[in-house]
């Protein structure tokens, strides 16, 4: 018997990186997982097929409200209920913070469409089902960029700050559904593979002497899913980077 046997989890952006690692950890504990991505269909299908539980892949771009609703509807149609929502899908592009003109309206809009509006729409669509569950909870992947003046762009940092505050607001308003966030520092994912200089800089200053891995972040998600008395918290997973900067 797995600890999460019978529970159903949606993990957005789970064809790779933090989302994939989280999907695998949830399934290893017995949860049925809905794997999702906006575009990486083949990779998402492969992840779902490789999980040890009854798991499926559903393509949906959460920045489109209708597609997000379809993701939730497809989950409930397949499994009959929903217990866990992990809001991992996100979008960014690198724009130096001093380059105000480089942060175009298009970049700003797209960043908020995915990171903030998409997360809001999906969580709102899922909430009635989470409220009907004895184990309903939401975990959103944010960033230390929402806490400190850092991150891949000003828009990205703004969006993650919004998600951190949304976490607290929803926790206050939606109980007994628990709502928490995991705020990683720099994570070694396919997206950051070429950021060698930044990985080296983080390793040089933080107490743990390395960047985070997707598994580090997935473990934090699992801790929040498993503890039934934590809500409204933003759990920083950064190897101590924010302690020394």
Long-range contacts formed by 5-8: CB under 8 A, 24+ apart: 5/30, 5/31, 6/30, 6/32, 7/31, 7/32, 7/83, 7/84, 7/135, 8/32, 8/33, 8/34, 8/75, 8/79, 8/81, 8/82, 8/83, 8/84
Q: What does the pLDDT look like over 58-77, one tens digit per residue?
A: 999 999 999 999 999 999 99
Of 20-34, 86-100, 123-137, 193-207, the least confident: 193-207
pLDDT of residue 192: 87
Does residue 229 have an active-site annotation?
Answer: no
47, 156, 166, 239: which is the annotated catalytic residue?
156
Q: What does the pLDDT look like over 195-233, one tens digit per residue?
A: 899 899 999 999 999 999 999 999 999 999 999 999 999
């Amino acid at each position: 018997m797995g600890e999460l046997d019978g529970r159903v989890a949606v993990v957005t952006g789970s064809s790779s990186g933090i989302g994939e690692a989280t999907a695998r950890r949830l399934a290893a504990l017995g949860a049925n997982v809905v794997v999702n991505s906006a575009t990486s269909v083949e990779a998402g299908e492969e992840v779902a097929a490789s999980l040890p539980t009854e798991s499926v892949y559903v393509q949906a771009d959460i920045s489109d409200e209708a597609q997000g609703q379809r993701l939730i509807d497809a989950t409930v149609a397949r499994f009959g209920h929903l217990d866990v929502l992990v809001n991992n899908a996100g979008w960014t592009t690198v724009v130096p913070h001093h380059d105000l003109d480089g942060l175009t309206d298009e970049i700003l809009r797209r960043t908020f469409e995915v990171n903030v509006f998409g997360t809001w729409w999906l969580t709102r669509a899922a909430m009635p089902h989470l409220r009907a569950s004895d184990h309903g909870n939401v975990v959103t992947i944010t960033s230390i960029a929402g806490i400190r003046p850092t991150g891949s762009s000003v828009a990205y940092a703004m969006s993650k700050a919004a998600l951190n505050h949304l976490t607290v607001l929803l926790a206050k308003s939606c109980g007994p559904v628990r709502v928490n966030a995991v705020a990683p520092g720099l994570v070694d994912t396919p997206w950051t593979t070429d950021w060698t200089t930044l990985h080296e800089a983080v390793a040089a200053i933080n107490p743990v002497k390395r960047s985070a891995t997707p598994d580090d972040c997935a473990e934090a998600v699992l801790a929040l899913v498993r503890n039934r008395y934590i809500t409204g918290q933003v759990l920083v997973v950064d190897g101590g980077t924010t302690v020394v900067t």
